[in-house]
Structure 1
């Protein structure tokens, strides 16, 4: 018991020291574009819809909120993890949208709830969620082919990446890959919605040191969203969000939010430690995500 307590205290001390160091990296205020955020959230919701309906953009209210993507590519692997990418003519941007947690899919929820980490090779001492990383590896080769194809079709366009729930976590891992495929140039925007934590503190530190591989980024959270609190931050799990959090108490006014530059800020979603909500996870931008997904 004494040995275990020592391990816990040592880990917590290291965690505190590294957290203090992490704050140093957050010196410049970040930007948040409400209209772009809503637009990318719309595409995130659309990504749950069936392939047939996506091809002709006939997926009900979800598709009615946003224009069809040109040159649409849809990929699904054998584990039903998927993404879509296409050209957004209004924004002159290639948009990469990763499908999130299906509300009634047990396997998706098991992915969110597991806590095992695996070494992440891009940075020293970094570890990330094992299932998230293995999912990235499963889609990595096809992602590369699809991105290079659409990039050749629209070489001067901007690049956006997004995803909700599990899709936000996978988008977090995909963005460094797109950064490399883009000639080590930052993408133009990276927004997630209700994303779970992806990696350990060292991963968060590294991601921040690389400026999120994006010119603008935001991790949007909704009040007591339970998924934003997973996997746990506490010992022995020691997961840590990346920063640039935009916290909505509710979506009655899209211009009322709190911007938290550092991860796990007590002013944003980390203010909640026990009182969580599934409803908040499915109500981003005031939409009923479960209903829209079921009907699309």
Structure 2
């Protein structure tokens, strides 16, 4: 679980990096690993520290895909569950690197499995986002590891439909998602922050040798999570 302190941002961006919001997304993202029953009840010790209302889990159990939505103040949070910590090594060993065409930008290709998983889950949360936007809510999307991959595809999709309400995403340990054309295009759409801890292996996959590239705005934290660097072109 990630906890942050306040440091000066080194670059002025239209929607500046917020450590407070990153902390909130990280904590909410950790709770995405809980059972649907726990999420719905919102009564665990960490839950009680986060004033989230109307938590609603979603998922496809047969495919081990899940997440939840919930409201906090003027925001709707959309969180995707990441890879279980005890299964990260198996997930890495089973990871394939096939790319498919991405429909929204010319020449863009993305990881076939991540994109298929996003498309499978989209119908589980889209109506909730639409309702929140109709009520004037800002939508914040996040996740970790595989959940971060799903969050990026989700936020890009939602920003196309609700550009005034979907403008930022915070993701922890996001893998590379597509080729250079996709990375360049996605980086221009909205503020997507990739939080990376110094020794996390997941952001190094899939490998650059297979033409995978990261979207920009990496927020790199040192070992004790005491300092960060903002890297706009981080490959």
TM-score > 0.5 by shorter chain: yes
2:70 maps to 1:86: yes
Q: Give the corresponding residue for 2:234.
A: 263
Q: Give the corresponding residue for 1:221.
A: 196
Q: Give the corresponding residue for 2:7.
A: none
Distance 1:106 1:161, change over 3 A: closer
2:52 maps to 1:69: yes
* 2:218 counterpart (232, 245, 250): 245
Structure 2: gaps of 5 or more residues = 1-10
Distance in 2 (alpha carbons) for counterparts of 1:186 and 1:145: 14
RMSD: 2.2
How far 1:221 moved relative to its partner? 0.3
Q: Is the 8 A contact 1:112 1:196 kept in 2?
A: no
In structure 2, the residue corresponding to 1:169 is in which secondary structure?
Answer: helix
Please give the TM-score of this superposition, normalised by the length of structure 1. Answer: 0.69
Count of aligned residue pairs for this structure pair: 222
Distance 1:231 1:252, change over 3 A: closer
Q: Give the corresponding residue for 2:140.
A: 160
Q: Which has the higher contact order (CA 8 A, sep 6+)?
A: 1
Q: Give the corresponding residue for 1:45.
A: 30
In structure 2, the residue corresponding to 1:104 is in which secondary structure?
Answer: helix
In structure 2, the residue corresponding to 1:95 is in which secondary structure?
Answer: strand
Structure 1 segment 188-207 matched on structure 2, within 5 A: 188-207=167-186
2:174 maps to 1:174: no
Distance in 2 (alpha carbons) for counterparts of 1:111 and 1:46: 25
Please give the TM-score of this superposition, normalised by the length of structure 2. Answer: 0.86
Rg comparison, structure with higher value: 1
Q: Give the corresponding residue for 2:130.
A: 148
Q: Is the 8 A contact 1:86 1:150 kept in 2?
A: no
Structure with the larger helix share = 1
Distance in 1 (alpha carbons) for counterparts of 2:204 and 2:89: 19
